[in-house]
């Protein structure tokens, strides 16, 4: 069948084009009767966002299914398990893989069979994959199998793969060779020349300072261009770091997202706590701050936070667990965990549970939070760069601590991803002295 | 399309069942053998949702479902157009069913096609559980991915895909239940009628709209509330309403609810015969009405066949209300029109219309339901005896197999005598009969129309389909030889009965006459125009008239006229019935167990006059 690839740098409208092209194909009748578009993503956050985006287009209403590769693979491997019965090689290999890669490997193996390819296409003749550069071996094999019977619309930019050390040449080579490639070159996200030039310099591994103009800003060195600033903060004092962040935020209109490669950095978190609570006064008497923001955290962390408050007995009956959990049932995942236990009790007659069960139920509920439960924050946000992938914000503040680690290439990809999230303005705050002469901000020092 | 296999677990009296179904099959068996359970299982799977009656505790095997109790029904559907999943998008796909390949001969399934597994198939499942808190059943209809590892359909990780009603409509399953209300069939309250009209596009919309408008807004003079006598009541009601409600609503009386639906629902079929009056269907004989209704069903089948659509019909007891000549024509028409017919019957006439491999005997013992064909395949060159049993006497054979116990007598005259005695006994039976056990024999025991010297062959056929075959042997060397032959079969007959040493059936008849010898000899001499100075002459006479039916009948009727002989016949048949029904525990007069020959699975008795 056909594969169409949209390839282009960050902010050139890859997702927009992929969804638009899929809509055109749907309008042209690629689905026929009773069939749907399958949109595959890598993480649940991306799934929820893509689901909400597709849901806004009336053409897709009730005609698409948004799944992670993992869930899709689990379903496929489970439903066609009779084809794997007795295939010792596949079963042995599966046993060596983790709970996500195992089903993906099985699904990829099953999708080598044309009958299975056609069987998937009978329900999903059109498959949409954004961020295809993130495909690893198993998931690439899945897409290759799907390509046997389904039409595929994909978007990719090799430079935006954030898996450290993964070689994207194989994936990109196949994607480019398997069908038609549309190269997107027109920046769509921002019109800020400085922002674009800087992002390109990072992508190409050039010295970022060369495309910027230096000026003195308080005690800290500052380079700037239209829509972009980068400043170095030498102080380790959390108050001063906080002031620098808040000062940047005070000069922007609209939402600001604070992005960092290392959300665990302690001094950085201390500074952010201050940003969220303190008010500063300028010499002219004007005040700014505080800037309350929401930490967007991983599903794991949400679940951890929820569970930290609840004292679960190691093992108890359904009724006893209910008594413990009910005060926390205002949280949807807790309420869902209760109803899941109730169902198990009624369907299987299970009355005894362990704290491990309950924790697993809460974690599952957090992971599976439906589109309805997924809230788009209007206020300021803070999150890791990984989490900001494939999203856009009016303003971005990148906090770059010395604890950002990885190969020079990886650091550049991280910085590039962070900078290109901005529509209006991006400020990069580098903590520490003299780090602007090394990657990701400059090429490696020539020996 | 058709249903090739059906498995049932935990439904009603059936703990487990695995049934292979052909294209046109008839299910026969005693009452409570599980025929209706099979039909109801099919309608749970394939019926329209609202036709599925609400399940209660009693639908679960054992009637006391706990949280883990399940009803699970799985059917294998095959015969798809083009034998290709690509052409059957409603059935196959990631969001639909998993394709399988069936061996049409032995009905085994394979995940991929091969030399034997050549026909595309899909498996549909139905599962129910009883919610102990809500006190109602939760049901799910789903595609079965892998029958061998199905697991619990209600488990969290079951990955089930539900089957849409629209998909099932492609199979076109339709059930004609035994309890049918024929007169409502040709009316818009009948689902079938609506479907026929919809298929044929014959909704009389204009006539209905016109009728609706007329009923809604009748001419002033014809309005019911304006009729003399009613106007007073209506006016005083209006007066009351004016006092109570400011809007002063006006009471009007209208026929029906004045919408199209009520017009359609008030359509009642009438029939005119010859120049007679037109009468509503309820005033007609049931034969006419049921026949007309089945013709409607045929219309539906024809409409589906013409558009290349499948039609699977399950009919319970087509013999109800219809005379035998029409039954035959009807069943043949159904078989010709439908992709598959599944018929249950208590009529040997209907059953005998189906070939031996498609005649399934249903039996449920300790929760296990079995459906065994009268023969697996029709023998290419049947022996004389097989022709006799399976063709010439198929009706009688099938009739005997519908009973709880089956008795295979050694010779043809044994059959004739037992039937004659039984008939005569029943004719004589009166209300004052307090022994109560006299007619049990024909209720519980079927007599196979065997021919002489073929008792072992007959037994081997019966043994495959019926769980309780018994054998009646003469007390001579031949009888012993037959016994030696059948006792080693697996399983052996449940019960073997010998007449006394050197006795045959005619000796038994003479024994009956000896209950009141002088009188019996005299009246038999008159009835049979013979001369019987002693019972030896009587026996000799009967032996020379072995295959002469009038002799059997006259003898039986004459003996029955004698009170003492009548008691003996009653005792004989009653005792025989007791040992055949419960050979392990029965201990009646007239029959003595032969412990030396009896085993745990086979009891041997000898008649002791």
Q: Which residue of A34, A340, A347 is in closest CB contact with B67?
A: A347
Contacting residues for B338 by C-beta, under 8 A, at least 6 apart: B24, B301, B311, B312, B313
Nearest residue of A to residue B135 by CA position? A346
Phi then psi for residue B26, to 5 deg, are -120, 135
* Mean pLDDT of the A130-154 span: 96
Question: B146 and A82: CB-CB below 8 Å?
Answer: yes
Instruction: Give the three-class secondary structure for B378.
Output: coil
Question: A122 and B86: CB-CB below 8 Å?
Answer: yes
Residue pair B402/B447 in contact (Cβ under 8 Å)? The answer is no
- pLDDT for the residue B103: 95
- pLDDT for the residue B266: 82
Q: Which residue of A78, A82, A347 is in closest CB contact with B154?
A: A347
A119 shares contact with chain B (CB less than 8 Å): yes
Read off the pLDDT band of A447 (50, 70, 90). Answer: very low
Q: Which of A82-96, B47-61, B386-400 has the lowest mean pLDDT?
A: B47-61
Q: Which residues of B touch A345 (CB under 8 A)?
A: 67
d(CA A23, CA A46): 19
Q: Which residue has the higher pLDDT, A117 or A45?
A: A117
Residues B161-208 have pLDDT tens digits of: 999 888 988 898 888 877 666 556 667 777 777 777 777 777 788 888
Q: Which of A99, A347, A349 to mutate to test the interface with B (most CBs of B within 10 A)?
A: A347
Read off the pLDDT band of A318 (50, 70, 90). Answer: very high
A62 shares contact with chain B (CB less than 8 Å): no
Q: What percent of chain B has pLDDT over 90?
A: 42
- pLDDT for the residue B379: 72
- pLDDT for the residue B438: 54
Q: What percent of chain A has pLDDT over 70?
A: 97
- pLDDT for the residue A45: 84
Residues A389-419 have pLDDT tens digits of: 989 999 999 999 988 888 999 999 999 999 9
Question: A118 and B145: CB-CB below 8 Å?
Answer: no
B155 shares contact with chain A (CB less than 8 Å): yes
- pLDDT for the residue B227: 86
Task: Give the max Cα distance, chain B.
Answer: 107
Residue pair A192/A427 in contact (Cβ under 8 Å)? The answer is no
Q: Any idea which residue has 């700014």 for tokens?
A: A288
Question: B67 and A348: CB-CB below 8 Å?
Answer: yes
Question: B89 and A124: CB-CB below 8 Å?
Answer: no
As assigned by CATH, the class of the A3-184 domain is alpha beta
Helix (H) or strand (E) holding B206: helix B205-216
Task: State the number of CA atoms in the 13 A half-sphere of A264 facing the CB.
Answer: 5
Nearest residue of A to residue B137 by CA position? A347
Q: Which residues of A touch B155 (CB under 8 A)?
A: 347-348
Nearest residue of B to residue A36 by CA position? B95
A33 shares contact with chain B (CB less than 8 Å): yes
Q: What percent of chain A has pLDDT over 90?
A: 78
* Mean pLDDT of the B392-421 span: 89
d(CA B535, CA B518): 9
Mean pLDDT of chain A: 92
Residues A330-344 have pLDDT tens digits of: 988 999 999 999 999
Mean pLDDT of chain B: 87
- Residues B1-187+283-372: name the CATH superfamily: P-loop containing nucleotide triphosphate hydrolases (3.40.50.300)
- Predicted complex ipTM exceeds 0.90: no
- DSSP bridge partners of B121: B78, B100
CATH number for domain A193-296+378-437, candidates 3.30.160.160, 3.40.50.300, 3.40.640.10, 2.60.40.420 = 3.40.50.300
Question: A347 and B98: CB-CB below 8 Å?
Answer: no
The torsion region of residue A309 among left (phi > 0), alpha (psi -120 to 50) and beta comes to alpha
The two three-digit tokens of residue A3, written as one number: 């594969």
Integer angstrom CA distances of residue B325 from B329, B353, B398: 7, 12, 18
d(CA A399, CA B125): 57
Residues B212-264 have pLDDT tens digits of: 998 888 888 888 888 888 888 888 888 888 888 888 888 888 888 888 888 88
Helix (H) or strand (E) holding B45: helix B35-46
- pLDDT for the residue B180: 63
d(CA B426, CA B569): 11
Domain ranges of chain A: 3-184, 193-296+378-437, 299-367
- pLDDT for the residue B484: 93
d(CA B429, CA B417): 18
Integer angstrom CA distances of residue A154 from A8, A24, A61, A157: 12, 14, 20, 10
Contacting residues for A167 by C-beta, under 8 A, at least 6 apart: none
Task: State the number of CA atoms in the 13 A half-sphere of B313 facing the CB.
Answer: 29
* Mean pLDDT of the A99-109 span: 96
Residue pair A188/A11 in contact (Cβ under 8 Å)? The answer is yes
d(CA A18, CA A37): 12
Read off the pLDDT band of B282 (50, 70, 90). Answer: confident
pLDDT at B51 over 60: no
Residues B532-543 have pLDDT tens digits of: 999 899 999 999
- DSSP bridge partners of A183: A7
Of A192, A131, A157, A259, nearest in space to A423 by CA: A192
For chain A, the straight-line distance linking the first and the last C-alpha, in angstroms and rounded, comes to 50
The answer for B 92-151 residues in CB contact with A (under 8 A) is 92-96, 98-100, 111-112, 129, 131-133, 145-146, 148-149
Of A82, A175, A163, A80, nearest in space to A127 by CA: A175
Read off the pLDDT band of A291 (50, 70, 90). Answer: very high
Q: Which of A433-442, B378-387, B426-435 has the lowest mean pLDDT?
A: B426-435
d(CA B291, CA B295): 6
d(CA A204, CA A184): 17
pLDDT at B437 over 50: no
Peptide bond into A293 cis (omega under 30): no
d(CA B164, CA A34): 11
Domain ranges of chain B: 1-187+283-372, 192-282, 379-607
pLDDT at B144 over 90: yes
Residue pair B43/B52 in contact (Cβ under 8 Å)? The answer is yes
Q: Could you list the beta-strand ranges (E) of B12-114.
A: 14-20, 24-28, 71-78, 100-102, 109-110
CB atoms within 10 A of CB A290: 16
Percent helix / strand / coil, chain B, rounded to 5: 40, 20, 40
Q: Do domains A3-184 and A193-296+378-437 have the same CATH topology?
A: yes
For chain B, the straight-line distance linking the first and the last C-alpha, in angstroms and rounded, comes to 60
A79 shares contact with chain B (CB less than 8 Å): yes
Quick one: three-class SS letters along B392-453?
HCHHHHHHHHCCCEEEEECCHHHHHHHHHHHHHHHHHCCCCCCCCCCCHHHHHEEECCCCCC
pLDDT at B49 over 60: no
pLDDT at B50 over 70: no
pLDDT at A373 over 70: no
pLDDT at B601 over 50: yes
Q: What angle do CA A94, A99, A101 make, to 5 degrees?
A: 60
Residues A174-216 have pLDDT tens digits of: 999 999 999 999 999 999 999 999 999 999 999 999 999 988 6
Question: B94 and A119: CB-CB below 8 Å?
Answer: yes
d(CA B142, CA B74): 9
Quick one: three-class SS letters along chain A?
CCEEEEEECCCCCHHHHHHHHHHHHHHCCCCCCCCCEEEEECCHHHHHHHHHHHHHCHHHCCCEEEEEHHHHHHHHHHHCHHHCCCCHHHHHHHHCCCCCHHHHHHHHHHCCCHHHHHHHHHHCCEEEECCHHHCCHHHHHHHHHHCCCCEEEEEECHHHCCCCCCCCHHHHHHHHHCCEEEEECCCCCCCCHHHHHHHHHHHHCCCHHHHCEEEEECCEEEEEECCEEEEEECCCCHHHHHHHHHHHHHCCCCCEEEEECCCCCHHHHHHHHHHCCCCEECCCCCEECCCCEEECCCHHHHHHHHHHCCCCCCEEEHHHHHHHHHHHCCCHHHHHHHHHHHHHHHHHCCCEEEHHHHHHHHHHHHHCCCCCCCCCCCCEEEEEHHHHCCCCEEEEEEEECCCCCCCHHHHHHHHHHHHCCEEEEEEEEEECCCHHHCCCCCCCCCC
- DSSP bridge partners of B130: B137
Which of A297-301, B109-113, B330-334 tops mean pLDDT? Answer: B109-113
pLDDT at A265 over 50: yes
CB atoms within 10 A of CB B172: 21
Contacts A–B by Cβ distance under 8 A: 84
- DSSP bridge partners of B77: B3, B122
d(CA B564, CA A441): 122
pLDDT at A446 over 80: no
């Amino acid at each position: 069948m056909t594969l169409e690839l949209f390839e282009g740098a960050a902010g050139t409208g890859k997702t927009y084009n992929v969804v638009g092209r899929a809509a055109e194909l749907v309008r042209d009748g690629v689905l026929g009767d009773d069939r749907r578009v399958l949109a595959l993503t890598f993480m649940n956050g991306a799934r929820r966002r893509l689901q909400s985006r597709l849901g806004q287009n009336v053409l897709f209403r009730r005609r698409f299914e948004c799944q992670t590769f993992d869930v899709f693979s689990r379903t496929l491997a489970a439903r066609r398990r009779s084809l794997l019965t007795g295939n010792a090689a596949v079963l042995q290999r599966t046993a060596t893989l983790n709970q996500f890669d195992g089903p993906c490997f099985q699904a990829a193996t099953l999708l080598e069979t044309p009958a299975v390819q056609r069987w998937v296409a009978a329900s999903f003749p059109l498959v949409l994959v954004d961020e295809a550069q993130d495909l690893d071996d198993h998931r690439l094999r899945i897409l290759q199998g799907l390509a046997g019977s389904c039409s595929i619309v994909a978007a990719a930019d090799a430079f935006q793969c954030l898996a450290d050390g993964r070689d994207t040449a194989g994936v990109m080579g196949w994607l480019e060779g398997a069908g038609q490639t549309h190269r997107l070159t027109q920046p769509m996200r921002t019109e800020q020349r400085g922002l674009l030039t800087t992002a390109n310099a990072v992508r190409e591994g050039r010295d970022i300072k060369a495309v910027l103009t230096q000026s003195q800003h308080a005690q800290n060195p500052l380079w700037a261009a239209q829509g972009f600033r980068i400043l170095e903060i030498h102080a380790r004092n959390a108050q001063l770091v906080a002031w620098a962040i808040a000062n940047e935020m005070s000069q922007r209109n609209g939402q600001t997202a604070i992005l960092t490669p290392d959300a665990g950095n302690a001094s950085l978190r201390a500074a952010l706590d201050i940003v969220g609570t303190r008010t500063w006064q300028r010499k002219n008497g004007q005040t700014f701050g505080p800037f309350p923001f929401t930490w967007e955290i991983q599903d794991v962390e949400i679940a951890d936070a929820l569970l930290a408050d609840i004292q679960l007995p190691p093992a108890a009956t359904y009724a006893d667990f209910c008594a413990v959990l009910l005060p926390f049932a205002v949280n949807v995942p807790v309420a869902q965990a209760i109803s899941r236990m109730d169902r198990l009790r009624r369907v299987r007659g299970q009355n005894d549970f362990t704290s491990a069960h309950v924790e697993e139920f809460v974690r599952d509920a957090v992971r599976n939070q439906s589109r309805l439960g997924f809230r788009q924050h209007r206020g300021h946000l803070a999150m890791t760069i990984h989490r900001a992938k494939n999203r856009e914000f009016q303003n971005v503040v990148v906090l770059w601590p010395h604890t950002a680690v990885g190969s020079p290439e990886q650091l550049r990809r991280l910085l590039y991803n962070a900078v290109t999230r901005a529509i209006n303005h991006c400020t990069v705050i580098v903590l520490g002295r003299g780090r602007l002469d090394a990657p990701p901000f400059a090429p490696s020092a020539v020996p | 399309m058709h249903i090739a296999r059906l498995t049932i677990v935990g439904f009603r009296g059936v703990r487990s069942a695995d049934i292979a179904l052909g294209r046109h099959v008839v299910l026969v068996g005693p009452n409570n053998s599980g025929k209706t359970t099979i039909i109801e299982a099919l309608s749970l799977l394939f019926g329209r949702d609202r036709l599925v009656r609400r399940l209660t505790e009693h639908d679960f095997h054992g009637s006391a479902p706990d949280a883990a109790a399940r009803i699970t029904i799985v059917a294998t559907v095959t015969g798809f157009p083009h034998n290709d999943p690509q052409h059957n998008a409603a059935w196959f796909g990631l969001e639909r069913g998993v394709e399988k390949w069936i061996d049409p001969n032995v009905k085994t399934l394979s995940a991929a096609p091969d030399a034997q597994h050549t026909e595309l198939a899909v498996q549909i499942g139905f599962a129910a559980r009883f919610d102990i808190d809500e006190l109602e059943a939760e049901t799910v209809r789903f595609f079965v991915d892998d029958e061998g590892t199905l697991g619990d359909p209600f488990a969290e990780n079951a990955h089930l895909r539900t089957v849409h009603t629209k998909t099932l409509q492609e199979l076109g399953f339709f059930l004609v239940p035994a309890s049918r209300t024929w007169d409502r069939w040709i009316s818009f309250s009948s689902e079938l009628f609506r479907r026929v009209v919809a298929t044929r596009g014959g909704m009389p919309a204009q006539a209905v709209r016109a009728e609706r408008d007329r009923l809604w807004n009748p001419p002033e003079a014809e309005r019911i509330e304006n009729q003399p006598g009613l106007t007073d009541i209506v006016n005083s009601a209006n007066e009351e309403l004016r006092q109570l409600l400011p809007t002063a609503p006006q009471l009007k009386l209208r026929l029906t609810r004045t919408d199209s639906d009520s017009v359609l629902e008030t359509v009642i079929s009438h029939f005119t015969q010859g120049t007679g009056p037109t009468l509503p269907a309820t005033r007609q004989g049931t034969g006419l009405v049921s026949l007309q209704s089945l013709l409607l069903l045929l219309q539906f089948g024809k409409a589906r066949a013409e558009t290349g659509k499948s039609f699977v019909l399950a009919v319970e007891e087509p013999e109800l209300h219809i005379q035998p000549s029409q039954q035959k024509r009807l069943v043949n028409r159904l078989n010709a029109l439908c992709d598959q017919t599944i018929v249950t019957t208590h009529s040997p006439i209907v059953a005998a219309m189906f070939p031996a491999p498609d005649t399934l005997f249903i039996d449920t013992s300790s929760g296990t339901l079995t459906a065994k064909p009268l023969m697996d395949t029709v023998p290419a060159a049947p022996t004389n005896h097989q022709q006799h049993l399976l063709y010439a006497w198929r009706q009688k054979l099938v009739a005997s197999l519908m009973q709880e116990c089956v008795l295979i007598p050694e010779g043809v005259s044994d059959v004739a005598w037992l039937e004659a005695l039984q008939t005569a006994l029943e004719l004589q039976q009166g209300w004052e009969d307090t022994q109560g056990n006299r007619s049990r024999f024909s209720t519980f025991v079927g007599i196979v129309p065997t021919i002489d010297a073929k008792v072992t062959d007959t037994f081997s056929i019966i043994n495959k389909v019926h769980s309780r075959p018994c054998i009646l042997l003469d007390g001579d060397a031949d009888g012993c030889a037959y016994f030696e032959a059948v006792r080693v079969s697996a399983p052996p007959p449940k019960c073997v009965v010998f007449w006394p040493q050197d006795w045959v059936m005619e000796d038994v008849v003479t024994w009956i006459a000896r209950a009141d010898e002088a009188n019996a000899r005299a009246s038999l001499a008159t009835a049979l125009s013979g001369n019987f100075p002693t019972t030896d002459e009587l026996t000799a006479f009967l032996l020379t008239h072995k295959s002469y039916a009038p002799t059997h009948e006259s003898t039986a009727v004459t003996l029955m006229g004698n009170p003492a002989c009548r008691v003996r016949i009653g005792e004989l048949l009653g005792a025989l019935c007791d040992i055949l029904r419960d050979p392990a525990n029965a201990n009646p007069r007239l029959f003595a167990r032969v412990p030396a020959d009896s085993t745990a699975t086979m009891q041997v008795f000898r008649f002791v006059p």
